[in-house]
């Protein structure tokens, strides 16, 4: 951040067990989800399970950034039964668990769960009481102010947003560790997050399967 009249602290709150909302269109949501997923995986030493849930009315296909990441379950919600199956899986799978939610209304049973579940959702305006709200560097004044104005009074949103944009960092609101419901504002640098999520190396996987097949063949002979 540049030295000016507005000084925000860097956001350094653990992601685990939070309910997080990312503001933006689908392109920016993918980038935000991906970065926060990497951050979370580092926190739990990659011992987590990953579940992706998306509804047809919100997203037409699986996000492309997930294709090289190990995902434990993906649920495409087209009817109520699909949502029941997703909830049953979430209830019974091992924890810690992170849920990437692409949709509108989040069922109370999922949102209010006390299990070791981290939830990341997104859109234009949060419909639930999330712990933290992330904007991106492209977020407009209107996108930011409509949410901050509903939580914090007498805040110079325009000046703060100009500061974060000038420093090429994102704005974050969070109620974690705050005694008042109004919460606090922080800055966060998505660009500083390096990809650490274990990805699929298709060449190595192919070689491993070939070796395994040879070993099984030799045992049979």
The gap from C-alpha 208 to its chain's centroid, in whole angstroms, comes to 32
Does residue 124 have a pLDDT over 90?
A: yes
Alpha helices in 44-128 (DSSP H): 80-92, 108-111
pLDDT band at 187 (very low <50, low <70, confident <90, very high): very high
Place of tokens 């325009």: 158
The domain ranges of the chain are 9-220
Could you tell me the pLDDT band of residue 198, with boundaries at 50, 70 and 90? very low
Q: Quick check: 134 and 21 in contact, CB under 8 A?
A: yes
DSSP string, 91-124: HHS-SSEEEEEESSPPPHHHHT--SSEEEEEEES
Residue 50, pLDDT above cutoff 90: yes
Q: Give the pairing of strands 117-123 and 49-55.
A: unpaired
Give the pLDDT score at 147. 96
Q: What is the dihedral of CA 120, 125, 130, 133, to 10 degrees?
A: 70
List pLDDT tens digits, range 53-75. Answer: 999 889 887 888 888 888 999 99
Q: 200: pLDDT confidence band, cut at 50, 70 and 90?
A: very low
* Structure confidence at residue 61 (pLDDT): 79
Measured CA to CA, the distance from residue 173 to residue 25 in angstroms comes to 18
Q: Tell whether omega for the bond before 46 is within 30 degrees of 0, i.e. cis.
A: no
Distances (CA, A) of 94 to 97, 98, 159, 200, 201: 7, 11, 45, 22, 25
Tell me the per-residue pLDDT of 82-101, one tens digit each, with 9 for 90 and over.
999 999 999 999 999 999 99
Q: Pick the closest to residue 117 from 47, 48, 28 (CA basis).
A: 48
- The C-alpha R_g of the chain, in whole angstroms, comes to 20
In tens, the pLDDT along 100-112 reads: 999 999 999 999 9
For residue 3, the Cα-to-chain-centroid distance in whole angstroms is 30
- CATH 2.30.30 assigned to domain 9-220? The reply is no
pLDDT number for residue 153 = 86
pTM as predicted:
0.84
Residues 90, 95: Cα–Cα separation, whole Å:
9
């Amino acid at each position: 951040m540049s030295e000016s009249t507005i000084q925000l602290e860097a956001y350094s709150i653990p992601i685990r067990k939070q309910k997080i909302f990312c503001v933006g269109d689908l392109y920016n949501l993918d980038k935000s989800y991906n970065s926060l997923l990497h951050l979370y995986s580092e926190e739990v030493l990659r011992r987590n399970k990953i579940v992706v849930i998306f509804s047809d009315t919100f997203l037409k296909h699986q996000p492309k950034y997930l294709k090289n990441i190990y995902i434990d379950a993906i649920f495409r919600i087209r009817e109520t039964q699909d949502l029941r199956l997703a909830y049953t899986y979430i209830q019974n799978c091992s924890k810690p668990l992170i849920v990437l939610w692409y949709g509108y209304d989040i069922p109370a049973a999922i949102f209010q769960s006390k299990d070791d579940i981290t939830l990341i959702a997104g859109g234009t305006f949060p419909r639930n009481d999330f712990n933290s709200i992330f904007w991106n560097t492209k977020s407009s004044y209107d996108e930011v102010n409509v949410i901050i104005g509903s939580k914090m009074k007498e805040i110079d949103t325009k000046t703060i947003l100009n500061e974060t944009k000038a420093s090429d960092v994102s704005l974050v609101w969070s109620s974690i560790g705050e005694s008042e419901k109004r919460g606090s504002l922080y800055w966060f640098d998505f660009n500083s997050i390096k990809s650490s999520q274990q990805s699929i190396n298709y060449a190595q996987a192919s070689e491993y399967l070939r070796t395994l097949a040879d070993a099984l063949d030799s045992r049979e002979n």
